[in-house]
Chains A and B, each alone.
Chain A
Amino acid sequence: MSRNKELLSKIGLRLDGRRANELRRIRCKLGVFTEPDGSAYIEQGLTKVLAAVYGPHQVRGQRSKAQHDGALVNCQFSMAVFSTGERKRRPRGDRKSTELSMHLQQALLAAIKTELYPWSQIDVYVEVLHADGGIYPACVNAATLALIDAGIPLKEYVCACTASLANNDVPMLDISHQEEAIGGPTLTVAALPMSGKIVLMEMSQRFHLDHLPKVLEKALQGCKDVKNILDEAVRLHVQDVGSSTGWVIKN
């Protein structure tokens, strides 16, 4: 099964017509809700994710969790029942979503300047509306946008991207669900693209160690490309909101 379909055709096109180093189309929107402090919506190809950020606010519930030296970052990942091919109830606390929540928290903690908010808590909720490969990267990117919308200080953007290795050992960017299913190895990288720091790296299946540097380089390049797209969206959003309020300088 694994090799009867080729990930990359002879003329260098993938199943959905992209080249090996092309991302899927990214469309995003900030400030989609009014109730949370910050929110964002992102589409990467057909993968669609909503993110909402509440906080920083007083720690509610288990007050013993509050930290004197920084904010508590609480991430909650969930998938809509209609997000995949087969309709399936996904309880909140199943193993996959718990794992993704923890990975998301790890990536966001690297960027958020938590030390500015002692005794507080920041809640990040992400909901996958349509899963078509690269769920985790889309969640990280959406959460970053939502945090920026909420005005929470970040060291820099945290972006994520996947990469894989096609036949004839060509590295390939931003894997879709179809390509995942055919069965290439997938390397997921979350990084701080400006400083080039990797905050999370995960791999499913395996390839030879010799290929790792070039696949990794590809994934990091992908993160940088994603960052540029997000940056542009943020600038447009700030410009739009600022022009409506008339750029009031606080008096």
Chain B
Amino acid sequence: MSKKIHIRLANHRVNSSVAVYSRVPKIFTPGEIITPQNEFMRGHGTYEEDGNLKSSVAGVREQVNNLISIRPLKSRYNGEVGDVVVGRITEVQQKRWKIDTNSRLDSVLLLSSVNLPGGELRRRSVEDEHMMRQYLQEGDLISAEVQSVYSDGSLSLHTRSLKYGKLGQGVLLKVFPSLVKRSKTHFHNLPVGASVILGNNGFIWICPTIVNSEDSVGGFIQNLEEVIPRQQRETIARLRNCILSLTQSKMLVFDTSILYAYEESLKYEICELLQPEAMVDVALLTQQRLCMLEE
């Protein structure tokens, strides 16, 4: 089997920017003075020195009454209560799992905040503690919701709903957390025949359509026996490449943009979508359709 490999010279590189320069807010860079007065409160991304409020990151200013903060365009995931996240188990401890959620500290999932088979009111016994590794072991992927944020910034997760739980067959895609648009729902059953979970933490899970009628005992069942038909797998692969081309051009990822990108990508073969020209083309066409939608 031979494969075509393209190695490009630096000056043949494709510029992936699809920026629309409409209005550019003032940009602050580290060390820049935001305001000389100290009557303001300092928020994230700022610090005070010699009576001046200074920026500590490169980004744009956000002000709520007296609170000034500078938001960087890219950073690690900062969790908020209610966010949907996708994470990977890194450790099994006493009564808790440690989960990597692309946050600055590992998140915890307590044994008491998962739905065990056998109903809500089940007592968690010592046997359950011994069984923990059989429910979730190191390397497993889960979807969960942020329950609370601890004082040191680490997150506590829960999976006390049937939509959360262990993830089975599918594709994980890591993007920068700032590129996932916050919306009412992060679980989407796309009409093209696949489901996506857009984790707020930048982990995106693409899997074959979830059938809701499935008898739901809480998500610790992982069916790895079932064979996904080729057509569905191709859809998943195409979706992955579409999201990749959106993020390459730093465009936001949400259900509409994914669907538009998918429709625009149909003129390409799936493997062609990995070429930079095709990626920019898809992103550009999607950007145009989104702009038209706004108007």
Contacts and interface: CB of A to CB of B under 8 A. Distances in A.
A234 interface: yes
Nearest to B182: A251
Which among A111, A192, A244 has the highest number of chain B CB atoms within 10 Å?
A: A244
Given A157-B31, A238-B73, A240-B19, A247 B25 contact: yes
B57 A245 contact: no
Nearest to B22: A243
Contacts, number: 128
A133 interface: no
Contacts of B23: 247
Interface stretch (B187-195, B244-252, B271-279): B244-252
Interface string B143-184: 000000000100000000000000000000000101101100
Contacts of B179: 245
Interface stretch (B58-66, B207-215, B217-225, B259-267): B58-66
A1 interface: no
Query: Which range holds the interface residue count of chain B?
Result: 35 or more
A171 interface: no
B89 to A, nearest CB: 13
A244 B74 contact: no
A229 interface: no
A2 to B, nearest CB: 37
Contacts of B105: 57-58, 119-120
A239 B27 contact: yes
A56 interface: yes
A148 B30 contact: yes
Contacts of B58: 148, 151, 234-235, 237-238
Interface in B80-114: 100, 104-106
A12 interface: no
Interface pairs A-B: 5 shortest CB-CB: A156-B31, A151-B75, A151-B72, A243-B19, A153-B56
9 contacts: A58-B106, A111-B30, A148-B30, A150-B74, A151-B58, A237-B58, A241-B250, A243-B19, A244-B249
Interface of A: 31, 34, 37-38, 55-58, 111, 113, 117-120, 148-157, 192, 194, 231, 234-235, 237-251
